[in-house]
Structure formats: C-alpha cells, structure tokens
Structure 1
Amino acid sequence: MRVFSSDGVDIAYTVDGEGDPILLIHGFASNAATNWKDTGWVRWLTGNGFRVISFDNRGHGASGKLYEPDAYTGPVMAEDARRLLDHLGIARADVMGYSMGARIAAFLALTHPERVRRAIFAGLGANMIHGVGDPEPIAEALLADDPAAVADANARGFRSFADNTKSDRRALAACIKASRDRIPGEDLARLTMPVLVAVGTVDAIAGPAQPLAEAIPGARALDIPGRDHMKAVGDRVFKDGVLAFLREKP
C-alpha cells in the first residue's frame, strides 16, 4: 500500500485498475483488504472498467493509530477521504461506503457534494438516522483482557472480528466511541447526487434500507435477500445492483 499524510495522520491506500474513479470506504474494525479485496469487490469493479481507490481508515489496518475519540468523528474521517482525492488529483468520484464507511461517505457527500458524483450507502440503512446503539459495550469488549468474559453477544462479535483482522484494539475502542454519529433526516434531505442504499434484509445492525432511501431525494433502496451485516458484503445481488446503478447516466 502507498501512504500519504492527511493533516498529519498517515493514511494507507491502494489504486487498482483504470477508468472512472470509485472511492471505497470500509467499515469499523475492518480494512481495505478485508472489506473490498477479499470479498471480490476490487476485482469486480476493475473488471468492469473502474479505477478503484481503497484505503484503511485512521485507526485501522496500516493507517495511523490515534487514541482519543475526538480523532474519529464522522466529519473528521470524511476529511481523510477528501484529502485522498486531493492527493490523487481526483476532482470527482463515485463513493461507496460500508457500515461505518457509509456514514463517512454521507458526511463526505454533505460537506463536499461537488466531489461525489454518485453515492452508495451500504450496510447502513435506517440506523444512519436513528443510531445503532450504545458504543460502550463494544469499547469495553475491545479492551477486555479475556474476550471469553464478554457477555454481550454483539460486542463479543466485534471483538472477535478485531482479533481476526489483527487490529489495534485500543485505537478501535477510541474510534467506536465517536464514529457512530447520527445524521438527521433533514440533513440527508440536502443530498442531490444519485444515491443507492444497499442493506441485507436480516441486518439488525444497519436497519432496513427503505427508510434511509426515503429520506434522500431520488434515492433508491437495494435489499440484499437473506443476508446479515457480515454476509451481505460480498453478495452477488449487492454487486450486480451496484454495477447497474453505476452504469446509469447521472
């Protein structure tokens, strides 16, 4: 991976393929490789004529680690994405984010709408507006000495995922405390670019796609049948739906 400095924070990124640029923003406790390469997204998009830019969010993967929650708000992390486009000389790109990455993509689209040609909010539906719950159990699970002692099943799942991705758990604990910003529906109503909301139909973390799509003028929902938060990421229905959306004329 290459590295650039985003206001003093090292951000690791890769660029694959040629064609129209699409920026991919991964989810919490993941990284660019796990979220986008291992699931076949980079191969799928480059094979269909896109230039794919993926990066490790701050606190994740090979990017810089910080240990204060204020370093991980949605707007702050969206600026890393914007600075990466600046660094690469890309004036405007399609943007797809998954879960936490969808929230970051939404902040990027709200703050810098001129930089986002089309947006795909995946792995986060109605709960982008309503919130996804108390982050403290997850933070505590990430910092626990013994993961077997974590009682909360959802928190234990995130701890297991963080261990599997060999993440810096202290950085992730700081991140989870600040990166779940709710975005009011009236703010999302200001978006004017084409938006696709893609969520698994049994994804309890994300909430359903349709309410989020209804909050954004002209947006549409893509249901990924029978998939939960983890299994929706690489689903073929998801890939086909996104490709059809990207091939439409803006």
Structure 2
Amino acid sequence: MKNNLNLQHCRESAQFITKRIEGTPKIGIILGSGLGGLVDDIEGKSIIPYSEIPHFPVSTVEGHMGELIYGFLKGSPVMAMAGRFHFYEGYDMAAVVFPIQVMKLLGVEKLIITNAAGGLNPNFEVGDLMLIEDIISRFPDNPLRGSNEEEFGPRFPDMSEPFDQKWIEQTFSKGEELGIILKRGTYLGVTGPVLETRAEIGFFRLIGGDAVGMSTVPEVIAANHIGLKVLGISVITNESIPKVAKEFTHEEVVDVAQRSGKKLVALVKEILN
C-alpha cells in the first residue's frame, strides 16, 4: 500500500530549514500565481530556494518564484511559500501537500492560503477578493489516501468547517476597516491544466461553486488533517460565467493577480495575530 506521507522526508526537510533560519515560524502563507508581492514586505528575510531543500518539489509555473521565505510581518514570524505545487504539473498529492506537513514540524500553527481563481458567481468582478468559506473537490485523488500517520492526524479528519470561522470574521472586519470589499464563497478545485469549458462552468455553478481554480483544495485537506487553523483568500482574476465567458490566458490571470496584490498584502498584514 502506498503511503502518501513520508514522515522521515518531512523531518529531514524541516531539519535542513531549521539550520537556515533563526526563530520559529508560527504562520504559514501560500502565495498563488502573481501574488508574490507580499514577500517584499517581509522583514529580516531568510530565502531558501526549493531546489536546495531535501525532498522538496520544484515549482514550474509562471508567476511562482519557487522560494521559501522566513521573516517577520508586523512582528509576526512567518514562513511564506513563493510558489506552490500543482497536481497538473505531474506531481502526486504527496508532493503537492509536502511543504505544509514540513511547516507543521517547523512550528507553524496557522495557515493562510491564497490563490488566483475564476469567478463563477455572477456578483463577482475581476479583481475582487473572496474569503473562502468552503471547498468542493473535483480532484481524482486525495492527499490523505494511503496509510495514516497518527502522529500527524486522525484517519478520518472532520472537514465540516475546513476554514477557521473566527479568523474569517476577523478578516472580514479588517477588510471593512481598510475599505477593502470582501466577497465570501465556495472554492471549487479542478485538476487542470486546461481552462474550463462553458458547460463545465455552468455545472460548477450549479453544484455550488463561487470560484474555480487548480490548487488549494489538497492543501486545505492536509492542513486540517494536521490541525492547522486555515484561512483562504481567492483573487478573482477572470469571470467564468457562461453568458460572459471569453478566452483568457494564464498571463492575464497573473497580471490581474499582481494588480490586486496590493489589497491582499494590506489585508494579510492586519490578520496575522
């Protein structure tokens, strides 16, 4: 039987990273396509390329720097992933969620997951920020498939509230204080790398999706398994609504994410504690 989690590899990666940083990260941040601007605001940075970390995958997607950054945001010790790993890149689920499990061993207790997503909800506009309240998985695999490591979490973790409700409300309030309008909704995860057909867009909306993307869902599952508090934020980079859907490219997605990044950076800096 395949075991998706290699605990020894996690420990070896964590030991390597510990030697390269001074301190203990308490908050992990995953930066999606075009959202790496937050890195500029991290103080006292220690930057570790993924390629140097034992057992780490290497990001291959445009807009993902492929670096692990430790430092401080408004005094809070954070570990940021500038670039994530996707199922569509050819990685299995074990590789996709591996960095989150390593973060747990490093001391991370809370995780902020960001992504660039297509808007399914007709009330969403390009550039909106959506607080993710729930997820729908359209992936053919699950990161917890295989034998379970009880040291990390239970065989059957509860996913009735995958995101921390108190943190969501705090973030919504901070958004109001900053003048940032936040939407709320359900993120639907697909494998990619193809963009959705019109029929798929209609189906995804019908089953409850407000935004669609090719990441996040496996990471949320893994984070809940190991007991991290999770907050998810999507940047709506295009409108995937059947009546208005048009052709768009990954480059356009990255461009919108970068332009909306200032709002995201301002928000994240206020919700770390």
TM-score by length of 1: 0.36
More RCO (CA 8 Å, sep 6+): 2
Structure number with greater Rg is: 2
| Structure in which a larger fraction of residues adopt strand | 2
| Structure in which a larger fraction of residues adopt helix | 1
TM-score by length of 2: 0.34
